[in-house]
Chains A and B, each alone.
Chain A
Amino acid sequence: MGEMLLKIKNLKTRLGDADNPVYAVDGVDIEVRRGEIFALLGESGCGKSMTALSAMRLLPPSGCIVEGEAFLEQTSLLDLPEREMRRVRGGSMGMIFQEPMTSLNAVITIGDQIGEAVRLHDPDNRENVSRRVIELLRSVGIPDPERRTLEYPHQLSGGMKQRVMIAIALAGKPRLLIADEPTTALDVTIQAQVLSLLKELQRRTGMAVLLITHDLGVVSEVADRVAVMYAGQIIELAESRTFFRQPLHPYSRKLFRSLPSLSKRGQELAVIEGSVPRLNQCFNRCRFLERCDQAQDICAQQEPGWSETAMGGGVRCHLFSALPGPLTRPEKVLMEKQQEIQKPAGSLLEVEGLRVHFPIHKGLLKRIVGHVRAVDDLSLSIARGRTLALVGESGCGKTTAGKGILQLIRPTAGSVRFDGEELTNLPAGKLRSRRADMQIIFQDPVASMNPRMLVGEIILEGMQAQRIGANRVQRQARVKDLLDQVGLPADAAERYPNEFSGGQRQRICIARALAVDPRFIVCDEPTSALDVSVQAQVLNLLKELQQQRDLSYLFITHNISVVSYLAHEVAVMYLGRIVERGSVEEVLQAPRHPYTQALLSAVPEIDRLQQRSVIRLEGDMPSPANPPRGCHFHPRCNQAIDRCRSDYPKPVRLSPTRSVSCFRVDQG
C-alpha cells in the first residue's frame, strides 16, 4: 500500500447561487495513493468532474466549495492563496480534459502551448525550452516532434491532440495527473492507444492518475482502485479486481447486469428504472432508493452511512451494515432465454455498389477538383426481422451510408432495392409515399426532436405526411398506443421534449418512427449518447419491437458490445468500404481482416481474466478525399504485403454468410 498523495475529505461543492443551490458534490471522501491509477466511475451528472475541478480549484464561476478539505500530501489545497495554488496547478497536479478538440488554443502553436507550461513549472529547463518540448512530445508518442512544435492544433487528429494535452500536463512533472474522461471523445482504437500511453507514463514516472470515467471497460483496463459515484456521493470503493469480481452496492451490480454482451444474447438486459434524483434537494433517504429493487424500509427513512469492508474498501448502503444477508443472497433469475428464431426469410433490402461522393470545389470557376468518397462501393443485404450492424470508427462513412440507403442523401451511384423496388431512381413524389416503410433513429436525442413541438405533434407528423389514420381522433388514439408501447405515459403527448430525459427521448423517437409502420429502421448510434443504465432500456425495447413486428434494423454503431448483444450480422467499414462481413459469431469470435482484429482487440474488456493483447494501430484514418492507393488499410496494417499497396482486394467468400476483403485471407 503506497502512501497517501491526494486526500479529499467531506467535500461539498455547490453550483448556482445560494437561493437555487445544486449540490453537485455532496460529501465526497477520496484518497489517491502515490503511483496508483484511481478511477472515479459514474454516470453523467453524478459530480465526478466537479470533484476533480474542486481539487484543482478550477470550478466554473457559478460553482463554489462549501465545505471540506483537500490535501495534496501535506498541503491543504483549499487554503492555499491563489498564487501558491497556481504553482500546484500544472506543477504537482496536472489535468487533461474530455474534449481535446476544444481544449487547446487554436491560434497558438503546439510548441508554444507546451513551452508555456515548461517555462512555468520546470525551472531547470528554462534555458532550453524547445528541447524539453520536443522531449515531452516524444514521450507521449508523437512522431516527428520537431515538425509538430510549429503546427497548430487543427492540423492534428483527435488522438494526437489528446497526446499534446498529456504532454502539457507532464511538463510540470506532476505527481498526480487528473484525467477527466480522457478517451470518451475518441475512437476505440485511439482510446486503446491513449490508455496504454497513460499506463506506460504512470509506470515510468511513478505519478498517480485520478481517472474520471463512465466506462466500466476503461476502469477494468487500467485502474488499480475504483470509487463509484452516484448523485454527488461515493457509494462504493474497492480494489479494482475485487470490484469486478464482486460489486457490492445494488447500483454497481445493476450496472454490470445492464451491460450488453455476447453472453447476454437472448436475455433481456437488466434495467435501472427511473433516473438520478435532482441534486437541489435535501436527502434524508438513500439516494438510490427509487431505483433500487432491494430497498427496505430503513432506506426510505435515513441516509445510509459509510461501511468499511474487509479489503480496505467500503460501501454506502443500509443493506450492508444492518443486514449483511441480502447482499449475498442470489440475484433474481434473469428473464428466461427468448427463443432465437432461425430465419430463412428472404432479404428485404439489397444494396449494391452504393457510392456517395461529395464534390470538392476549387479554383476560379469552382471546378470540381475531387470527391470526398464518404461511401465507396458498399454492398449489403438485410433480411426480414434481422439486424445488420454496420461497425466502424468515426469518419468511416457509416452514417452517410445509412442516409444514402434511405435516400436522405441521394447516392452518386449504385442501387438500393427495397422489397424488390429500386429506390435510387424513384421520382420525388413516389419516394415520398415509400418513406413509410423505412425510418431512421438518430444518435443525439436532443437534436432529433424539434424543441418547439409537443411530443404528440412530433409523433403525429409522420402519420399526417403519410396519411395514416382516417381522422384526428384515430391518430390521437394511435399516438397513445405508441407511447404506451415504448413505455411512456399517455400524457407525455401534451409535453415538450425538453421535459424528458435522454433515454425517454430516444423512446419517443422510436415511437415516432413506428408511427408510420415501417418495416426497416436505420438506427444511427441510438444509444451512444446515453448512460449505460439507460442504454439497456433502449436496447431491450428495440429487441422487443423487432420480435413483435418483424422489423429489420441497420444498426450503425461503434460499440462492439452492443453489436454482440443485438445484431445477427456484422459489416465492418473502413474508409467508405466494407472490409469484412459475416454473422456475429463469425466476425466477433474469429475476425479475419486485420482491421477487424485490431478494432476488436482495442475494445476494453470488463472481464480481465483472459489476458488479451491489444493490436496497436499506428496513425489515424486517412482522409476519404484522398484514400491511399491499393488497400485503404495498408498504411496502418501490420500484415501488409506488396500487393496491398497497389490493388484493392476483392471480397473473398469464406462461408455462405461471410466475406473478407484482404489478400492475406486469400492466400490462406
Chain B
Amino acid sequence: MISHLVILWTDALIFLLLVLALAFGIYASRKPHLRRPWGLVVRSRVGVGTLVVLVFYLIVGLLDSIHFHPLSETSDAAGKASRSSEVISLFDSMVSGLRARQEKTYSAPLATHLYAKESIELADGSTIRDFPRLEHGGSHLSDPGQKPADLVRLSAIGILKGLAVSMVAANCLIILLAVAARSNFGNQAKAVLTASTEIPWRVVLVVLSIMLVLIFWSAELASGYHLLGTDKVGEDVLYQALKSIRTGLVIGTLTTLVMLPAAIMLGIMAGYFRGWVDDVIQYIYTTLNSIPGVLLIAAAILMLQIYMSNHAEEFNSLVERADLRLLFLCIILGVTSWTGLCRLLRGESMKLREVDYVQAATAFGVGHLQIIGRHILPNVLHIVLIAVVLDFSGLVLAEAVLSYVNIGVDPSMNSWGNMINSARLEMAREPIVWWSLAAAMIFMFTLVLSANLFSDVVRDAFDPRLHSSR
C-alpha cells in the first residue's frame, strides 16, 4: 500500500520532536528531580485521565503525519501501477471510507437526504422539488423509514464491539501489572478495581473504555451514515474534524519547539552574563514584544502569501504549499511567543548565578559554559517544561482565531479554525447549518480541556510553591 513516502517539513519536525521527547523521557527517568514530579502526575487521577485522551489525539495526529503518494486505482498499459500525484496520509488510507464518500452538498448528521431541496427528475420524466436521497449516507436502506431501527442496531453493534475491546485491554493491563508486581491476577484485578493501586489504573481503564466505546460506536455509524453530516461541498464533517487534529497538534507543539532554543539560550545568557549582553537581548525582546502579536503575524502571513503567489512554481503540490504555510505560521507564532519564557529564564538565571553553588563552581575555576550547562540549565528545566505544557492549549485556541481572520493556516488545510470560519456563513443560513461548528467545537474543546487539566497537574507537580495553596 505504502509506495512512496513523502516527508513534509512538519512531518519531519513532528518526528524530530517525538525523538526529542523520548530522549528527554529517558534523561528524566534517570534524574530523580524530574522523575518525582512525573510520578506525581501519573499518580493524579486527573493527570492519567487526561493523558489517555491526549494519547488518542496524539495517535491520530501521528498517523496523519506519515504521508505518501498512493498507488492509483487504474493501471497503465504496461500493467504497472502508476503513482498518483496526490499526497495522502496513513490516517487517510485508514479512514478511506470517510474520505471517499462525498455528497453533493450539505446534509445533516445521520441524514438520508440532502439538506436543500433540488429538482429531481422522476422516472416518469416529471420533475419535483424535494430533498434528494444521499449518494452514500444511509444508501444501504431501501426505505428511509428504517433508519431509526438501523441506527439502534448499528449503535448496539458498535457499543458491544467497543466494550469487548476494552474488556480485552483491561485484562491485558491487569495481567501485565500482575506480572510486574509478582502477584496473581485476582489480587491485581481487585487492587485495580478498588482503586488501591498507586497509579490510578481504574481511572485509566474507565477513560480508555469510554474512548474505545465512542470510537467503535462512531465507526459503526460512520460506515453507513455521515455521523456529523457533510459540508458545503459534501465532504464528511467527521473526517474534517479528525484531520484537523494534526493541525492543532502541530501548532501547539512545533511552535514551542521552534521558539525553545532561542528562548532558552538568550534567556540564560542575558541573566548569566548581565552587562551589555543583557542589554542587547532585552532590547531584542522588548522590540518584538512591543509589536502586537496578531499584527506581526498578519504582516508576516500577508508577506508570505505574496511570496507564495509570486513563486507558485516552487511548490510541487497544494499539500506541500499548505504545509509550508503551516510551518511558517508556527515559526511566526514562536517569534511572538518566546519573549515570555525568555524573560522568565533571564530572571531565574540572574538569581541562580548568585547562588552559592555557582559561586563554589567559580571558586573551583569552572568555565562559564560548563557552569551554564551543569548548574543553570538543569535548574531552569522545570520552568521550560511548565511553559511548554501551559502554552499548548493557548496555541490551539489561537490557531482558530487566526484562521478565522484568514491569517492562520492555508484555507485548503483542514483545521478547526477553518471549519469555524466557514460556519460563520452557515449560521446565517435559514435553516441554519450547525454541525460544522459543533463538530469543530467538540473536538477542539476536548483537546483543550484535557490539555488545560493536564498542564495544571504538571504545573502543580513541578512547582511545589503552589502546592501549599491547595
Contact = CB atoms under 8 A, between A and B. Distances in A.
A–B: direct contact at CB < 8 Å: yes
Contacts, number: 64
Interface in A493-528: 496, 509, 512, 516
Interface in A234-261: none
A450 B364 contact: no
B360 A452 contact: no
Interface in B352-388: 355-357, 359-367, 370, 374-375, 378-379
A408 B365 contact: no
Q: Which among B33, B355, B357, B367 has the highest number of chain A CB atoms within 10 Å?
A: B357
Contacts of B361: 461, 465
B32 interface: yes
B359 A403 contact: yes
A453 B375 CA distance: 9
Contacts of A438: 363
Given A466-B365, A516-B364, A452 B355 contact: no
A138 interface: no
Nearest to B354: A447
A658 to B, nearest CB: 31
Contacts of A54: none
B364 A442 contact: no
A76 interface: no
Given A435-B365, A451-B33, A466-B364, A408 B359 contact: yes
Q: Which among A433, A444, A461 has the highest number of chain B CB atoms within 10 Å?
A: A461
Interface string B324-367: 00000000000000000000000000000001110111111111
Given A442-B356, A444-B356, A448-B356, A453 B362 contact: no
A62 B470 CA distance: 10
B366 A512 contact: no
Q: Which among A403, A438, A452, A512 has the highest number of chain B CB atoms within 10 Å?
A: A452
A349 B357 CA distance: 24
A450 B375 contact: yes
Given A435-B364, A496-B33, A447 B379 contact: no
B377 to A, nearest CB: 9
Contact of A496 (B32, B359, B365, B374): B32
Interface in B375-408: 375, 378-379
Given A408-B359, A442-B356, A442-B359, A453 B374 contact: yes
B355 A447 contact: yes
A433 B365 contact: yes
B363 A452 contact: no
A88 interface: no
A287 to B, nearest CB: 27
A440 interface: yes
B429 interface: no
Given A431-B365, A440-B363, A465-B364, A452 B356 contact: no
Contacts of B355: 447
A160 interface: no
A465 B360 contact: no
Contacts of B362: 408
Q: Which among B355, B364, B366, B379 has the highest number of chain A CB atoms within 10 Å?
A: B364
A416 interface: no
A431 to B, nearest CB: 7
Interface in B15-46: 31-33
A452 B359 contact: no
Contacts of A509: 360
A450 B374 contact: yes
B interface secondary structure, majority: helix
Nearest to B363: A440
A452 B31 contact: yes
Given A447-B355, A450-B374, A496-B32, A461 B365 contact: no
A61 B468 CA distance: 8
A191 interface: no
A280 B468 CA distance: 19
B169 to A, nearest CB: 30
A106 to B, nearest CB: 19
Nearest to A453: B374
A96 interface: no
Interface string A643-654: 000000000000
A449 interface: yes
Given A452-B378, A465-B365, A466-B365, A512 B360 contact: yes
Contacts of B356: 442-444, 447-448
B352 to A, nearest CB: 10
B357 A450 contact: yes
Contact of B365 (A62, A403, A432, A448): A432
A657 B91 CA distance: 86
Contacts of A436: 364-365
B441 to A, nearest CB: 38
A406 interface: yes
A462 interface: yes
A439 interface: yes
8 contacts: A62-B468, A442-B356, A443-B356, A444-B356, A447-B356, A453-B378, A461-B361, A512-B360
Given A440-B360, A465-B370, 15 more contacts: A62-B468, A403-B359, A408-B362, A432-B365, A435-B365, A440-B363, A442-B356, A443-B356, A444-B356, A447-B356, A447-B357, A448-B360, A450-B378, A461-B366, A465-B364
Interface of A: 60-62, 403, 406, 408, 431-433, 435-436, 438-440, 442-444, 447-453, 461-462, 465-466, 496, 509, 512, 516
Interface of B: 31-33, 355-357, 359-367, 370, 374-375, 378-379, 468
